[in-house]
Amino acid sequence: MKSALLLVLLLSFLVLGACAKTRKVDPELAAAVQRYLDGYNATYQKLSAAASAADWDSQTHIVEGDETNAKRTQAAMEAQAVFTGSVENIETARRFLERKGELSDLHRRELERVLFQAGDNPQTIPELVKQRIAAETAQTEKLYGFTFTLDGKELTPNEIDKGLREETDLAKRRKLWEASKEVGKELKAGLVGLQRLRNESVRALGYPDFFSYMASEYGMSTAELAAEIETVNRELRPLFRELHTWTRHELAKRYGQPVPDLIPADWLPNRWGQDWSGLVEVKGFDLDPALNARGSEWLVQQAERFYVSLGFPALPPSFWEKSSLYPAPANAGFKKNTHASAWHIDLEHDVRSLMSVEPNADWYETTHHELGHIYYYLCYTNPQVPPLLREGANRAYHEAVGSLMGLAAMQPRFVKGVGLDTGTTQPDPMQVLLKEALNYAVFIPWSAGTMFGFEKELYADELPSSKWNQRWWELAARYQGIAPPTPRGEEFCDAATKTHINDDPAGYYDYALSFVLLFQLHDHIAHEILHEDPRDTNYFGRKDVGEFLRSILTPGMSVDWRELLKEKTGSALSAKPMLRYFEPLMGWLKEQNRGRKPTLGEI
């Protein structure tokens, strides 16, 4: 009896506690907030669509000397900035949030989003906001309009990337790598101005600096975010150290050179050392011949077929009509941004992709990744999610979903299942794992180390431009274990050669967190839905996988990202599923590295 009575009392306390936490919504206040938000969302959606459409033209049709698109983009972005940063919107949102205890969770989120949008371009300082928009537009034009050359001959970014993957002559590799860095010199002056303008614009709304402003979208301070990022780096450091040791010895043997402590950057198959997977060719798993036979169009169409097989709808006809999916012809008379991206133009159903698809394995994975963004857009375009909250649960979720689908599409059973002929030889599972680790695990110290550290110091510490290149390579040495092939003075700006530094600033850690998220989601799908080895799954045709994904995508930003992750996977953000995935490889690497001295220290 006593135990039963105690149980009743305990349940009573729990019920009372839950009632005490229940938000008491004021109906009159709710009606006033809804009227305000209805008007805000309508205007925001209209201006956002105009700015996105103008920016799309600026990035898909770049003509040297023609400023038409740049001026139109600048005007559209200024109009959007005048509205989102208006004093009236700032004051109205703040006034309503003074009573946030009487608001619904959705209304509170929308009002906080209004203030976040205002922080990027507050009209309390309209002239500075105009300067920033003009500077960012000019920087984007300069970045994507740059002509790369080698020995006086023009070459494309795709050709640079192909050369760094395939060229075996070290002298030629160095020239290719150095050519890829020339754009940084052109961008440095613009970045000096943007460092100041970005910091000053957000300070007008109370943020210490632009980096802290971006971190706040996660509900974190810079210090809290840095602690989370360092935890991820430390957890994955043992695996990366083994990969780094193996790579140093492998490349030294390949090029007939002494084994270096730090890997020369021009030895690696990627301009920034962010992806080393090109070092490994998995026999029995060469996709390029089969993809080349199919052609570029097949890659995008096949990616759509994958999503449809999961229960998602076919892409709207406007996607195919308005997207820019393939490289601009050599005689086109214009250039385009060659960095793959997905666009939600009107926050409704005008979704587009900007790519330069060629029939190879890299673009095969990228098409699946980019359509992951597109389907995320389509999922949270629904009446329950207002336009203001039509974003990922946090910024990393979007990339996590794209990368998850890219990983799924590259797994051996999936590839065989969709009819891609990779030959009769069975791929070595350990080589498949090694190639994946040289992509996913190697990416973490780049994104959560070099890029995170540089942009944090650029904005939070206002790192002077006289030290940019020096600091960039110090961070690359510490986190990635790489070094420039020859000393690089401050006339260079190697950080600015990465597009995101210029046009998507202070948020590159999204990609690192997205990889952690993707392995967490993949681990759940493999074990709880498919009941398959996570290293060799086949999502194709599994409507239950599609249902799980839609349950994550559909709410957009209308829910707490931490609660969503816990609810759907049963755990908080953790790198442990990623470590478990590569656990068999860790033993193999240690055997390969027996007797070799590691040169990477602790973080």
Per DSSP bridges, beta strands 148-150 and 351-354 are unpaired
Residue type, 392: G
CA distances in angstroms from 99 to 41, 92, 234, listed in the order given: 21, 12, 41
Q: Which of the listed CATH numbers 1.10.1370.30, 1.10.3720.10, 1.10.357.10, 3.40.50.880 matches domain 224-592?
A: 1.10.1370.30
Neighbour-count burial of 273, counting CB atoms closer than 10 A to its CB (0-12 exposed, 13-18 middle, 19+ buried): buried
Six-digit token pair at 92? 């109205």
Judged against a pLDDT cut of 50, whether residue 503 lies above it is answered with yes
Between CA 442 and CA 578 the distance in angstroms is: 12
Between CA 569 and CA 21 the distance in angstroms is: 25
Per DSSP bridges, beta strands 148-150 and 153-155 are antiparallel
Judged against a pLDDT cut of 70, whether residue 126 lies above it is answered with yes
How far apart are the two ends of the chain, measured CA to CA in Å? 57
Judged against a pLDDT cut of 50, whether residue 13 lies above it is answered with no
Q: How confident is the model at residue 104 (pLDDT cuts 50, 70, 90)?
A: very high
Query: Hunting for tokens 């759907």 — which residue is that?
Result: 568
Give tens-digit pLDDT for 220-250. 999 999 999 999 999 999 999 999 999 999 9
Q: Among residues 321, 322, 317, 353, which one has the least CA distance to residue 337?
A: 353
Query: Hunting for tokens 């005689």 — which residue is that?
Result: 331
Contact 224, 584 (CB under 8 A): no
Six-digit token pair at 187? 């961008």
Neighbour-count burial of 313, counting CB atoms closer than 10 A to its CB (0-12 exposed, 13-18 middle, 19+ buried): exposed
* Arithmetic mean of pLDDT, 367-396: 98
Judged against a pLDDT cut of 90, whether residue 6 lies above it is answered with no
For the chain, the structural domain boundaries read 24-145, 224-592
Predicted pLDDT at 70:
87
Q: How confident is the model at residue 9 (pLDDT cuts 50, 70, 90)?
A: very low
Query: Hunting for tokens 């040169």 — which residue is that?
Result: 599
Query: What are φ and ψ of residue 388, in 5° steps?
Result: -60, -25
Judged against a pLDDT cut of 90, whether residue 420 lies above it is answered with yes
Predicted pLDDT at 23:
61
Q: What is the pTM of this model?
A: 0.88
Q: How far is CA 513 from the centre of its chain?
A: 9
Give tens-digit pLDDT for 524-559. 999 999 999 999 999 999 999 999 999 999 999 999
Between CA 282 and CA 412 the distance in angstroms is: 11
Six-digit token pair at 257? 């050179």
Six-digit token pair at 247? 């790579």
